[in-house]
Chains A and B, each alone.
Chain A
Amino acid sequence: MRKYIIISLFAGCLIILFFTLTSMVKMFSSHLKEPSASVEMHSSYRLVLITLELDTPFWAKVEEGAKAAAEKYNVSLEVWGTYGTNRDDFLKNIEVAIASKVDGIIVQGLDTDEFKNLTKVKAASRGIPVITVANDVPMNESLRRTYVGSDHLVAGEIIARQLVSDMGFRGKVVLMVSDRQEYSQRSRLAGILNVLSPYEGIVTKIVAAGDSREEVAKATNQLLNDMPDADAFIAVSANHASSIIQEISKRMQVEKFFIYSFDDSPATLSLLQQGKIDALITQSPEAMGEESVSHMVKWLTGEQFPLNPDGYFTDIKVLRAGDTP
Chain B
Amino acid sequence: MSSIQRKILTMSVIVLFIMATIWVVLTYYNQKTQEQYNDILQRYLHMNEVTEHSHQTIIALNNYLQKPSTVLRDAFNQSKEQIILAKLQSVSLRNQDNAYTLTSYINMIDSLVAAADLSVMFLEEKLPEQSAEKFEEAARIDKYIAETTITLIDKEVRTYDSFYRSIIEQSTELKRLGLLLFSLITIMLLLFTYWFSLSITRPIHKLTIAAKELSRGKFDKPIEVHSNDEISFLALTFDRMRVNINNLIFEIQQKAQLESELQESKLLLKESQLISLQSQINPHFLFNTLDTLSKKAYLDGSEDTSDLIANVAGLLRYNLRRLDRAVTLAEELSVTLKYIEIQSARFTDRLRFLQEIDENCLHIKLPCLTLQPIIENAVIHAVEPLEEGGIISLRIYAKEECVMIEIKDDGTGMSEEKVRHILTESGISDGTGHSTGIGFSNVVKRLRLFVGDEDVIDIESKPDQGTKITLKIPMARSAAKNV
Instruction: Using CB atoms and an 8 Å cutoff, list the residues of chain A in contact with chain B.
Output: 6, 9-10, 12-13, 16-17, 19-20, 23-24, 26-27, 30, 32-39, 41-42, 46, 76, 78, 92, 95-102
Count of inter-chain pairs, beta carbons less than 8 A: 104
Given the known interface contacts A13-B184, A78-B100, the answer about A32 and B108 at a Cβ–Cβ threshold of 8 Å is no
From B166, B174, B188, A13 is in contact (CB under 8 Å) with B188
The answer to whether A16 touches B110 (Cβ under 8 A) is no
The answer to whether B180 touches A20 (Cβ under 8 A) is yes
The answer to whether B94 touches A13 (Cβ under 8 A) is no
- Name B57-78 residues within 8 Å CB distance of A: none
Q: Say how far A129's CB is from chain B's closest CB, in angstroms.
A: 16
From A27, A38, A102, B96 is in contact (CB under 8 Å) with A38
The answer to whether A99 touches B187 (Cβ under 8 A) is no
Contacts of A37 in B (CB 8 A): 92-95
B190 at the interface (CB under 8 A from A): yes
The answer to whether B94 touches A38 (Cβ under 8 A) is yes
Contacts of B94 in A (CB 8 A): 37-39
The answer to whether B104 touches A100 (Cβ under 8 A) is yes
How far is it, in angstroms, between the C-alpha of A129 and the C-alpha of B413 when the chains are bound? 158
Q: Of A23, A92, A95, A102, which is in contact with the most chain B CB atoms at under 10 Å from its CB?
A: A23
How far is it, in angstroms, between the C-alpha of A284 and the C-alpha of B170 when the chains are bound? 51
The answer to whether A24 touches B104 (Cβ under 8 A) is no
The answer to whether A23 touches B180 (Cβ under 8 A) is yes
Q: Say how far A21's CB is from chain B's closest CB, in angstroms.
A: 9
- Name B185-223 residues within 8 Å CB distance of A: 187-188, 190-191, 194
How far is it, in angstroms, between the C-alpha of A20 and the C-alpha of B180 when the chains are bound? 6
B183 at the interface (CB under 8 A from A): yes
The answer to whether B163 touches A76 (Cβ under 8 A) is no
Contacts of B99 in A (CB 8 A): 38, 42, 76
The answer to whether B100 touches A30 (Cβ under 8 A) is no
Contacts of B39 in A (CB 8 A): 34
- Complex A-B: 25 CB contacts under 8 Å: A6-B191, A13-B188, A16-B180, A19-B180, A23-B176, A27-B29, A30-B170, A32-B32, A33-B163, A34-B163, A35-B96, A35-B163, A36-B96, A37-B94, A46-B100, A46-B104, A78-B101, A99-B108, A99-B144, A100-B103, A100-B104, A100-B108, A100-B111, A101-B107, A101-B110
How far is it, in angstroms, between the C-alpha of A240 and the C-alpha of B5 when the chains are bound? 100
From B29, B141, B163, A99 is in contact (CB under 8 Å) with B141
How far is it, in angstroms, between the C-alpha of A102 and the C-alpha of B148 when the chains are bound? 14
Contacts of A26 in B (CB 8 A): 173
Closest chain B residue to A76 by CB distance?
B100
Q: Say how far B115's CB is from chain A's closest CB, in angstroms.
A: 8
Closest chain A residue to B102 by CB distance?
A42
From B95, B101, B140, B174, A27 is in contact (CB under 8 Å) with B174
How far is it, in angstroms, between the C-alpha of A39 and the C-alpha of B95 when the chains are bound? 7
How far is it, in angstroms, between the C-alpha of A24 and the C-alpha of B173 when the chains are bound? 9
Closest chain A residue to B141 by CB distance?
A99
How far is it, in angstroms, between the C-alpha of A232 and the C-alpha of B94 when the chains are bound? 58
Contact bitstring B23-67, A, C-beta under 8 A = 1, else 0: 000000100100010010000000000000000000000000000
Closest chain B residue to A100 by CB distance?
B104
The answer to whether B191 touches A10 (Cβ under 8 A) is yes
Q: Of B177, B190, B191, which is in contact with the most chain A CB atoms at under 10 Å from its CB?
A: B177
B85 at the interface (CB under 8 A from A): no
B286 at the interface (CB under 8 A from A): no
Given the known interface contacts A20-B180, A23-B173, A100-B108, the answer about A32 and B191 at a Cβ–Cβ threshold of 8 Å is no
